Amino acid sequence: MSTARVLTLIAAFAAFATSSAAQTPVTDGETASMPRTKTGSDVQPVMDQAIFAHVLFNEFEGRWNGSNSEFRWDGQGWVGTDYDRLWIKSEGTLQGNGTLEDGQQQFLYDRAITTYFDLQGGLRSDIDSRPTRNWAAFGIQGLAPYFFDLEVTGFVSGEGHLAAKLEASYDLLITQRLILQPQLELNVYSKADPARLVGAGFSDIDTGLRLRYEFNRKFAPYLGVVYEGRFGQTANFARQAGESTGDFRFVFGIRAWF
């Protein structure tokens, strides 16, 4: 994918994100749809079971390492009440040659169980240019002490293979609007999957340091550096396929939510 195309994609997304984040007098289905008040005894004095919906793109960026570029997204969306939500997680990396890698999509039911953590369960589908894989997913997501955002998910495939993913990030406020975010994603697999260039054991890491500026809360462009690393068997597969095993890349993207 050319740099120009990546930038166009980001610009288009930015335009969309700004218009959503902009203040308009009418609220649409993006947010609270309070249950309609009914007449008679069904009328409630307060609607504290309201349904809310949000979408967050934590990563929506172009990645350059000097020789080639790729485009990566990592986002989540959910709809539901304080206790019960339907959750979608999506991530993927679009390579310069058009292939889609690391396409993990999760469709989960989320239940709030403690003050800061939710229990999640559902389906993970690896959908990209490589063979599709489906897993059952089970994990927790929430805010750990000292304000670390944490997601830990375990997976079981139809064949009984296991996998796990850890995602963590932290927001360090340099100023009220300039925020430095270290971020980490780690994948582990119990069994190798050569068709997907995935080896057993610790498989890959995607970690980065992103500096964003929040023009408003919902729209924050950022710059940063990331490291895409592969370990062990995964590294071997990568080398065989002519891909790198450890890559530093410069990123530019937009963090947006609505």
Partner 1 sequence: MKAFAPPLALTRRRFMQGAVAAGALSFAPRSLRTALAAPAPVLSGTEFQLEIGAVPVTINGRQTTATGVNGQVPAPILRWREGDTLTLAVTNRLSEPSSIHWHGVRTPSAMDGVPGLSFSGIAPGETFVYHFPVHQSGTYWYHSHSMFQEQTGLYGAIVIEPKGGYAQAFDRDYVVLLSDWSFEPPERIVSNLKFQSDYYNYGQRTLGTFLDDAQRKGLADTVADRLEWGKMRMSPTDILDVSGATYTYLINGHGPGANWTALFRPGERVRLRFINGSSMSIFDVRIDGLPMTVVQADGNDVAPVTVDEFRISVAETYDVLVRPTADRAYTISAQAEDRTGYARGTLAPRPSMAAAIPPMDPRPMRTMADMGMGSMQQGSMPGMSHGPMQGMATDHGSMSAMSSMEASPEAKKLQGSVGVDNLAMVPTERLQSAGEGFPPGRRVLSYVDLRALKPGSDPRPPSHEITLHLTGNMERFIWGFDGKKFSEAGPIELKRGDRVRFVLINDTMMEHPIHLHGLWSELDNGHGEFRPYKHTINVKPGERLSYLVTADEPGRWAFHCHLLYHMETGMFREVHVA
- The reply on whether position 116 binds partner 1 by CB under 8 A is yes
Among 12, 136, 173, 195, contact with partner 1 (rule: CB under 8 A): 173
Stretch that binds partner 1, among 142-150, 151-159, 192-200, 239-247 (CB under 8 A): 142-150
Stretch that binds partner 1, among 30-38, 63-71, 127-135, 241-249 (CB under 8 A): 30-38
Nearer to partner 1, 146 or 160 (CB): 146
Which residues 44-103 are close enough to bind partner 1 by CB under 8 A? 44-50, 52, 54, 56, 82-83
Nearer to partner 1, 148 or 250 (CB): 148
Nearest approach in angstroms of CB 152 to partner 1 is 17
Q: Which residues of 99-132 are buried (b: 16+ CB within 10 A; e: fewer)?
A: eebbbbebebebebeeeeebbbebebbbbbebee
- The reply on whether position 3 binds partner 1 by CB under 8 A is no
- The reply on whether position 29 binds partner 1 by CB under 8 A is no
Stretch that binds partner 1, among 58-66, 69-77, 141-149, 201-209 (CB under 8 A): 141-149
Tokens standing for 112? 């709030």
Stretch that binds partner 1, among 97-105, 168-176, 183-191, 223-231 (CB under 8 A): 168-176
Nearer to partner 1, 4 or 26 (CB): 26
Closest Cα partner for 190 from 199, 179, 182, 181? 199
Nearest approach in angstroms of CB 172 to partner 1 is 7
Binding site for partner 1 (CB under 8 A): 23, 25-27, 30-32, 34, 37, 39-41, 43-50, 52, 54, 56, 82-83, 112-116, 143, 145-147, 172-177, 217, 257
